[in-house]
Amino acid sequence: MSVNTVPSINYYSLDVIQDEARRLVQKGMISRQQPIYTLCQYIPAREWVCVECELEKCDFLLRDRIGDLIGREQWEND
C-alpha cells in the first residue's frame, strides 16, 4: 500500500515576509496602511499558516499595519 503525502511547506522567516511585503508595496499592489492580513491574497493558502505562526512568534498581529511590518523606507534620492 502506498501513501501519498503532501509536499513539505516552505518555511517563511520574518525577513522573507518583510521582503515580500516591501516588494508588493513597491509595485503598488498593497499600501503601507493596509493590515498585514492583506498579504494572504498574495501567499498560497497552504503556506499562510506558516506565515501566521512566524508573525505571531515575532509579536505581530494580523490587524497591524504593513508599514509596521516593513519598517521605515530608505530613500536613495531626495
Give the pLDDT confidence of 30-63 residue by residue, as tens digits: 999 999 999 999 999 899 999 999 999 999 999 9
Q: Are 9 and 46 in contact (CB under 8 A)?
A: yes
Grid cell listed for 56: 505571531
Closest by CA to 44, choosing from 5, 4, 12, is: 12
Cell of residue 49, nine digits:
499558516
This prediction's pTM: 0.77
The rounded distance, in Å, linking the Cα atoms of 29 and 18 is 15
Confidence at residue 48, expressed as pLDDT on a 0 to 100 scale: 92
